[in-house]
A and B are shown apart, each in its own frame.
Chain A
Amino acid sequence: MTPIVDMDLQSLLLHHAIDRFNAAYAASLDERRFNEWPECFVEDARYKVQARENFDRKLPLALIALESQGMMRDRIYGTSQTIYHGPYYTRHVVSPARVTHAGAGTADDPIRAEANYAVFRTKPGSVSEVYQVGRYIDAFVHTDAGLKLQSRLCVYDSEMVLNSLIYPV
């Protein structure tokens, strides 16, 4: 094989690995295995859900801004134990990932990638609605347990949150 094909194959494998990660991430949320969600991240990872309006204008406010796996566990405790809400199912549809920087996958040189997402909401007894659409802006690192997120920024286009947002996207 020529080196060019080798490069393509490496790129294919990397894209595939991220797509597999995103599929598993979405499944843990859609199947309501919420306790598994913080495990998609490394310990000091960041997770943010931010309106596009703020992101585009470099305003720092986010809808959810978590700075550690501990905060993520606190969020999950909140969604299941403390935030009173009408329950709903989610269905994530995540686009194929686009690797924007094929880094080494270390803390200093993470792999950077983006993917579009749409989350549909279905409340028991009701119709499905488009709940949030946006894109993931990610940094991944290799760990002994496979790829993990060092940061995931969910920038959503939807100008309005449909009442409230309880579960992570």
Chain B
Amino acid sequence: MNAPQTLSRWREPGTSRVPFWAYTDPSLYQRELERLFYGPHWCYVGLAIEIPNTGDYRLSWIGERQVIMVRDRIAPKDRATDHGIRVVENRCAHRGVRFCQAPMDGQTGNARSFVCPYHQWTYKLNGDLAGLPFKDGVKADGPEGDCVHGGMPADFDIGKNGLTKLRVAVLHGMVFATFSEEAEPFDQYIGPQVMPWLDRIFQGRQLQLLGYNRQRIPGNWKLMMENIKDPYHPGLLHTWFVTFGLWRADQKSRMVMDEKGRHAVMISRRNDGGANKVVTEGVTSFKANMALNDARLLDVVPEPWWTVDDPSNPGATITPTVTMITLFPSLIIQQQVNSLSTRHIVPRGAGEFDFVWTHFGFADDTEEMTQRRLRQANLFGPAGFVSADDGEVIEFSQDGFKQWGEEGATLVELGGREDDVGQPPTEHMVTETLIRSMYAYWKKAMGIQ
């Protein structure tokens, strides 16, 4: 693909200004699909618990390509080494048909094999082509005896004409895949800075699926990553956070990034809220006299796994109440008190993306804890007391970008103008360091120097 003309237009050095065209240019967006979503990056596909039995499959997305996550048959001898989860592209090798349709009861089903309805090409669960009708032609009586009509050429190799198979990595029940042979090993892709925070939530636990919420947001997909790399807004935009002390600038916090600046973790510990003037004076979203009619909406109960050895301070422990993890390019993992979810970004053009929330708990949760997680889900998601705001401001951001011309740019200077890649974590939340670091990586990956 030729480099879009826009790429020479990133005029300011560094990443403390992000040009509006980075969110609106259709050719740039095509390049993002190729280089980021279909390039050497690991993209979230789903959770292993969504496909518990052999043959269970679930449709998902990597960029704009629909993929099938499926649990394959595995020979007993391979069970110790093969998780059995395959990810194949939902596109027939014959005529390009997106053949696998979502079942009526959600996007999960069970199959013995995959068959494209158009010409009945049949694939094994692992994506291998198992067979196709009339491959060897049709025998017929000719004037000079038996002959064969048609069929595939003699050198047609059934082994080379299967579905596109993706590389798959399963971490603690989360399934990731990549189209790229060049993507580094998954553990290395996540890196040692971020991995402990995935371990903290997932390691050694059986997940329990609670359900899905889906929303279509009219904004560029990167705005959602930025939203969860932006610790500045929650205590300002979100009344519930500042008033009830779930996330605000007077809390002990830490901003972690991987060594390339692309993934991040925003870590904090809630306080009791109240009118600490340093963070509430003049903040119109702070409601000093607000009290809930039904306090069960915020019935937070600490969980033992919240406390872990502090990766930054050997010998000490740390007990965050919130960790918001962004895995470039398309996954957010949320722990906000007792509410847990993955949030999957599915881009749909430069100006729109779908946002799929999968809420989960743990298999050993008590009934009360499950109920608590479901209750706190009222804060998060497309109708959430907190998260509904985010989709709305993203839409208004995109509106603002669209109405301005070539020279417009967002301003990302809170906490400095450097991208801080390779620096130790920032121990407060009054910074936009994680957004600058993501664009440092994005520029490299996109070929913008």
Contact = CB atoms under 8 A, between A and B. Distances in A.
Most chain B CB within 10 A, of A65, A68, A69, A83, is at: A83
A2 interface: no
Contact of B214 (A70, A77, A83, A160): A160
A85 interface: yes
A61 B210 contact: yes
Interface string A51-72: 1011011011111111111110
B374 A61 contact: yes
Interface in A43-94: 49, 51, 53-54, 56-57, 59-71, 73-74, 77-78, 81-86
A61 B359 contact: yes
Report whether over half of chain B's contact residues are helix, strand or loop; otherwise say mixed. mixed
Given A83-B385, A84-B237, A86-B396, A61 B105 contact: no
A113 to B, nearest CB: 24
A86 B396 CA distance: 9
Nearest to B107: A53
Interface residues of A, number: 37
B91 to A, nearest CB: 21
A60 to B, nearest CB: 6
A161 B214 contact: yes
Contacts of A69: 293
A161 B287 contact: no
B105 A160 contact: no
Contacts of A159: 214
A121 to B, nearest CB: 13
Contacts of A67: 294, 296, 375
Interface string A145-160: 0000000000000011
B82 interface: no
A34 B213 CA distance: 24
Interface string B378-394: 10011101001101110
B297 interface: yes
A162 interface: yes
Interface in B270-312: 285, 287, 290, 292-294, 296-297
Interface of A: 49, 51, 53-54, 56-57, 59-71, 73-74, 77-78, 81-86, 159-166
Interface of B: 104-108, 209-218, 237, 239-240, 285, 287, 290, 292-294, 296-297, 354, 359, 370, 374-375, 377-378, 381-383, 385, 388-389, 391-393, 395-396
Q: Which 10 A-B pairs have the closest CB atoms?
A: A61-B211, A70-B293, A70-B294, A59-B211, A82-B239, A164-B388, A161-B382, A54-B211, A160-B216, A165-B383
